[in-house]
């Protein structure tokens, strides 16, 4: 038979176990703060002229937020897949979308940023698609970030008759192990460009 453990000894063991558990919980919370976390907003509508209730120049955007205490490096949003109403896939799959701040005056010579860093609790806004709704003959423009000659010949203008489209995007970064993925429906309703979360 083992000798009985004094009550004081049992209390000390329980106390030490509690301290270890508290330490592990705090360590986990600290690590969680520094683990990169991306938050993808719902689609955001941008209209020119602002506040217009009629047809306008309309863009749809996504806000990417860093909800951690670590810098997210070389982040980008890419088109994983784009499928039209007839089930045909886009030949531009893999293209990255442009930052909303990229507004070149000469698009032919402009080098779009291919990735960006997001500071802790910071955010970036990425443009996805746009349409000049007042022009009945205008095409929907997928707002890619072409990169040099690799971007030449990319077809980003899509006639409205081929909508709706189902768009799958991925948000990737150097220190995000598993890309965040979302699916959206891009469609035309009463002449207005719409972008909604897809019903899965």
Strands (E), 10-53: 38-40, 44-48
Question: Confidence band (pLDDT; 50, 70, 90) for 154?
Answer: confident
**Residue 49 DSSP label:** S
Question: Confidence band (pLDDT; 50, 70, 90) for 199?
Answer: low
Across the strands, what pairs with 91? none
pTM: 0.78
Whole-angstrom distance, CA of residue 3 vs CA of residue 9:
12
Whole-angstrom distance, CA of residue 39 vs CA of residue 37:
7
Would you identify the CATH topology of the domain 36-197? Coagulation Factor XIII; Chain A, domain 1 (2.70.50)
**56-94 pLDDT, tens digit each:** 999 999 999 999 989 999 999 999 999 999 999 998 999
Confidence at residue 6, expressed as pLDDT on a 0 to 100 scale: 63
CA atoms lying within 13 Å on the CB side of residue 121: 2
Question: Confidence band (pLDDT; 50, 70, 90) for 198?
Answer: confident
Residues recorded for the chain = 200
| Residue appearing with tokens 């004094």 | 6
CATH 2.70.50 domain position(s) in the chain: 36-197
Average confidence (pLDDT) over 148-165:
80
Asked whether 68 and 35 are in contact (CB, 8 A), the reply is yes
> What are the phi and psi torsion angles at 30 (to 5°)?
-65, -45
Confidence at residue 65, expressed as pLDDT on a 0 to 100 scale: 96
Question: 51: which residues sit within 8 A by CB, 6+ positions away?
Answer: none
What is the token pair recorded at 60? 């749809």
Residue 173 confidence (pLDDT) above 80: yes
At residue 184's C-alpha, the angle toward residues 182 and 187, to 5°, is 170
Least confident span in 13-17, 163-167, 188-192: 13-17
Residue 31 confidence (pLDDT) above 50: no
Question: Confidence band (pLDDT; 50, 70, 90) for 110?
Answer: low
Whole-angstrom distance, CA of residue 198 vs CA of residue 83:
13
Q: How far is CA 67 from CA 39, 40, 42, 147, in A?
A: 7, 10, 16, 29
| Residue appearing with tokens 């035309």 | 188
């Amino acid at each position: 038979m083992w000798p009985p453990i004094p009550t004081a000894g049992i209390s000390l063991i329980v106390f030490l176990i509690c301290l270890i558990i508290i330490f592990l919980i705090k360590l986990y919370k600290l690590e969680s703060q520094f683990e990169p976390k991306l938050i993808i907003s719902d689609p955001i509508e941008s209209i020119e002229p602002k506040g217009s209730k009629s047809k306008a120049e309309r863009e749809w955007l996504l806000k990417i937020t860093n909800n951690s205490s670590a810098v997210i490096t070389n982040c980008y949003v890419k088109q994983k897949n784009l499928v039209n109403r007839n089930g045909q896939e886009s030949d531009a799959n893999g293209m990255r979308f442009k930052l909303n701040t990229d507004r070149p005056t000469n698009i032919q010579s402009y080098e779009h940023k291919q990735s960006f860093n997001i500071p802790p609790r910071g955010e970036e806004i990425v443009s996805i698609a746009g349409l000049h709704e007042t022009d009945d003959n205008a095409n929907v423009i997928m707002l890619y970030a072409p990169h040099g000659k690799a971007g030449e010949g990319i077809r980003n203008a899509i006639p409205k008759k081929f909508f709706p489209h189902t768009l799958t995007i991925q948000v990737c970064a150097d220190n995000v192990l598993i890309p965040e993925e979302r699916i959206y429906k891009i469609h035309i309703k009463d002449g207005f460009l719409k972008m909604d979360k897809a019903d899965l």
